[in-house]
Amino acid sequence: MHLPLLALLLFLPMLAQAHGLHDHGGGWLAGLIHPLLGLDHLLAALAVGLWAGTATGWARLALPLGFTLAMLLAAAVGHGGSSSLVPWIEPGIASSLLALGLMLAMRVTPHPLLAAPLLVLLAVTHGLAHGAEGPADGLTAYLTGLGATTLGLHLAGLTLARLLPEGITRLAGAGVLGSGLWALF
């Protein structure tokens, strides 16, 4: 029981360096791996799925799909990086964790007409970071892998939202909120 926790703790310093570990080449595999290497991106994608899992009807799938599409569009726009965007990308990502964590911890059920614009805004910060860190060549393949992993993480969050008791989901939200605070300060 304690061995997996110890293993996770050994890798936390590496995971916390979310935007310095992406020297894994270009193309589809780079896009596939990228969201898994940064704790901020990993937590945000899972939190989107968890939060969407508390929605009803078509919003359960529409919210994660909308987030992913907005993120991919922002990644395409941010490809190659822009020095004018750099100062607010990291605080924007930290703020996205704060917002998602707060929604989960407070058990705010997303109303699609209010949640969709919020998720698009949050997705843009992640997308710009992904795009700025993307490979010089093979952008389409990179974005395809990036989208596949992001959707997979959203689906994992959706599944967890259906399986976990509300208290655990709220606790996970508190953890995401804490990670956002940690990243912000």
Closest CA to 42 of 145, 143, 156, 139: 156
Range from 54-63, 132-141, 151-160 carrying the lowest mean pLDDT: 132-141
Range from 12-16, 109-113, 143-147 carrying the lowest mean pLDDT: 12-16
Model confidence at 84, in pLDDT bands (50, 70, 90)?
Answer: low
Percent of the chain with pLDDT over 90: 65
| Residue 91 CB contacts under 8 Å (≥ 6 apart), including other chains | 184
Kindly report, residue by residue over 169-183, the tens digit of the pLDDT: 999 999 999 999 999
pLDDT reported for residue 86: 65
Cα dihedral sign, 50-52-58-64:
negative
pLDDT reported for residue 87: 76
pLDDT reported for residue 141: 94
Q: Please check whether residue 170 is in contact with residue 54, taking contact to mean a CB–CB distance below 8 angstroms.
A: no
Kindly report, residue by residue over 12-68, the tens digit of the pLDDT: 443 444 444 444 467 899 889 988 988 999 999 999 999 999 999 999 999 999 999
Cα distances (angstroms) measured from residue 121 to each of 18, 69, 72, 108: 20, 12, 13, 18
